[in-house]
A and B are shown apart, each in its own frame.
Chain A
Amino acid sequence: MKRELPLLLTAVIGLFMIMSFFVPHHLVSVPADYLQQCAVIVVAFGYVLGGANALRVNLEGIARRQPDWMYKLVLVASLVLTVVIGILEGRHWQDTHTISMFLYNQVYSSMQGTMFALLAFYIASAAFRAFRIRTVEAGLLAAAALIVMLGRVPIGDWFTGWLPPALRASAVQDWIMNVPQNAAKRAVLMGAALGVMATGLRVILGIERSYLGGGD
């Protein structure tokens, strides 16, 4: 029963939701809406579960004095502090000059910006050290990358302004994006969509059971 009941629930709800896509009758649409609202609530609970799990894992690490326990301490302190301040400030957390907004603008926003800004430095370093052209395919990839990189910014046309319009960096970049890139992307999208459909069917029919945990 421990495995059969979840499999049965998955199959029934899965088939019902597919049916709701095609049958607009209220006997189908009303329960389907209810199930969709349930899904939103379950996702919201996922955040609570995620927070609790982050606390459990990191508190364990601190208690056992794992090598990076100081970072875990910072994480736990930040998590608890942010939640407590948010609860204390309540629904007015978004007003100007609240501590929550200070934390959001001065800490969270700045740190995220910093993390992404670092990418520019690492991309330049990686381009110099790792982007090696050893085969014809890699050469084609590098040529396309160089053209698109230069064609996407105004300086590309500034460099190639002496060429006929159809051969300028932005025009060649447009062609690469609209023709070969688009064709490849379509194939990937279609392949992925078929894969999702196949996986969905496998889950509904009970063939795919890895989401239940365990070995089979």
Chain B
Amino acid sequence: MDLSKLERLDRRWLFLVVAVLVMGPLLRPLGVPLGSSAPVGQFYQAIDRLPAGSIVLMSCDYDPGGKPEMVPMTRTAFRHLLDRKCRVVFTCLWTGGSGLVDETIETVANEARAHGQSVVYGRDYVDLGYKAGYEAVMVLMGKGIVNAFPQDQRANQTASLPLMREVRDYSSFALLVNISAGYPGTKEWVQQVNSRFHLPMVSGCTAVSAPEYFPYLQSGQLRGLLGGMAGAAEYEKLRGEKGSATRGMDAQSLAHVFVALCIVMGNLVQWSKTRRGA
């Protein structure tokens, strides 16, 4: 078979195919059935087993670049925690993320209020916002959360908030939920907080960084792991939700198949060229 024409294929054709494969399923979902993996089930169980009234630390370490993967995880985990009647303290260690995180949690809180749930800022959840310092902030929080964050994201005095009066340091939390798109993120929380202060922890991370955290999952340092949009979609499925991650899975599925085809076709072209040259 002569594949020489493919060798000179204008890459704009590839771009067009990717655009069609991504846009098509977003506009008209295919409904490929979703499975469920063990790390996602463990993540779900870790939150589901929390007693009502527990205080949970949720660190959302990402910025708008990670929005399609990170925001669905944040939304579903916060909904899950509110359903479990847990109280949540949010932080963000990424410079550009605090605005997005605050908007996301407020959307979920408003949804809960619309469903008749009593969710009050300061009593049921607090957004401490961004603090510069990476790992130094994590260690500093171990000496006192209010000390590390004297003001919250909305410029309230942290010590004046009812929920924060019950929070001293990491020992006040039942679980750490880290939603992370890179550095600082899950690895640093495991090294600086889980290992040192023994705070149980689950993580939601980007698909590219998930392989890095599998050793922590196997060692039990992570109680559960959501890897990328696929993890977020499986979590939505376990919660009985149909969110943006579930809607995005068809598009991601087709894009993965196309990239796999590109690898195979590229090598076939190379192989055919070598044969012709031989």
Contact = CB atoms under 8 A, between A and B. Distances in A.
B227 to A, nearest CB: 8
A88 interface: no
Given A109-B67, A124-B259, A128-B262, A44 B99 contact: no
Given A120-B255, A150-B260, A128 B265 contact: yes
Interface string A80-105: 00000000000100100000010011
A124 B140 contact: no
A101 B100 CA distance: 10
Interface in A36-78: 36-37, 39-40, 43-44, 46-47
A137 to B, nearest CB: 15
A174 B267 CA distance: 26
Can you list the 8 inter-chain pairs with the closest CB atoms, starting with the nearest? A155-B253, A40-B133, A109-B64, A127-B262, A128-B262, A153-B253, A39-B136, A128-B266
A136 interface: no
A194 interface: no
Nearest to B32: A154
A46 B218 CA distance: 37
Interface string B259-273: 110111111001000
A178 interface: yes
B119 interface: no
A3 interface: no
B123 interface: no
A43 B65 contact: no
B228 A94 contact: no
Interface stretch (A8-16, A179-187, A204-212): A179-187
For chain B, the bracket of interface size reads 35 or more
Interface stretch (B9-17, B46-54, B79-87, B110-118): B9-17
A145 to B, nearest CB: 7
Contacts of A162: none
A contacts with B: majority SS? helix
A170 B99 contact: no
B266 A40 contact: no
Given A40-B136, A44-B132, A158-B32, A146 B260 contact: yes
Nearest to B103: A105
Given A94-B102, A120-B255, 18 more contacts: A36-B140, A40-B131, A40-B136, A47-B95, A110-B64, A113-B65, A121-B15, A124-B255, A125-B14, A131-B267, A132-B266, A150-B260, A152-B227, A152-B230, A174-B37, A177-B211, A178-B214, A181-B211
Contacts of A128: 9, 11, 14, 262-263, 265-266
B15 A149 contact: no
B1 to A, nearest CB: 17
A112 B96 contact: yes
Interface of B: 9, 11, 14-15, 17-19, 22, 32-35, 37-38, 63-68, 95-96, 99-100, 102-103, 131-134, 136-137, 139-140, 143, 148, 153-155, 207, 211-212, 214-215, 218, 227-228, 230, 249, 252-260, 262-267, 270
Contacts of B154: 94
Contacts of B214: 177-178, 181-182, 185
Nearest to B140: A36
Interface string A108-134: 111011011000110111011111110
A140 interface: no
A153 B252 contact: yes
18 contacts: A112-B63, A113-B65, A113-B67, A123-B259, A124-B258, A124-B259, A127-B262, A127-B263, A128-B262, A142-B267, A149-B259, A154-B253, A155-B32, A156-B253, A174-B38, A185-B211, A185-B215, A189-B215
